[in-house]
Amino acid sequence: MHNEKNPFNEIARIVDSHTKKQVSSIKNDEWMVAVMGTMTSKLDLLVDGMSKPISNYVLSDHLTLAEPDFTDTEKVAGGSGEAQYESHGHPVKTPKQLYHLHPGDRVVAEPINGGQIFCIICRYVERP
């Protein structure tokens, strides 16, 4: 028999230790959950219940689209030669829900990296 340590036992011990810490933190309500906040006039994130706005955050890429974006569909030709069936396209406008963030927007953010930074996941609106 070899006197060497089995590296897989060491890996299993480390994984087991980390798993127990994670489970323990969840049991003790120490884990982070999504929060709600408001975008300030400077587009900082003001998390509900906090007094200082946060300027260092990341956000989901769909919240960075330009507004409004107009485009036309590809032109298609009619078939009968009548005016109403001439070659034509249709304007398409970016939906308001896909615009970038504005002051006053209510957002959902998730703390990441142990709460060191927030990731803005989406904008939300009150139910009509």
Confidence tier at 113 by pLDDT (50, 70, 90): confident
Query: Does the predicted model carry a pTM greater than 0.75?
Result: no
Q: Which residue has the higher pLDDT, 71 or 33?
A: 33
For the chain, the average pLDDT equals 79
Instruction: Using DSSP, state whether 32 is helix, strand or coil.
Output: coil
Q: Which residues are paired to 111 by β-bridges?
A: 118
What distance in Å separates the CA atoms of residue 22 and residue 14, rounded to the nearest whole number?
12
**Collapsed DSSP state (helix, strand, coil) of residue 15:** helix
| C-alpha angle 94-98-103 in degrees, rounded to nearest 5 | 120
Tokens standing for residue 120: 């803005």
Structure tokens at 36: 């709600």
pLDDT (0 to 100) of residue 56: 92
Comparing 121 with 6, the larger pLDDT belongs to 121
**Per-residue pLDDT for 114 more than 70?**
yes
Strands in the chain per DSSP E: 35-39, 45-47, 57-59, 70-72, 91-93, 106-112, 117-124
Whether the CB-CB separation of 103 and 43 falls below 8 Å is answered with yes
pLDDT digits (tens, 9 = 90+) for 53-108: 999 999 998 888 776 666 777 777 666 667 666 777 777 777 777 778 999 999 99
Percent of the chain with pLDDT over 70: 74
Q: What number of helices (H) and strands (E) belong to the chain? A: 1, 7
Mean pLDDT of 41-55: 94
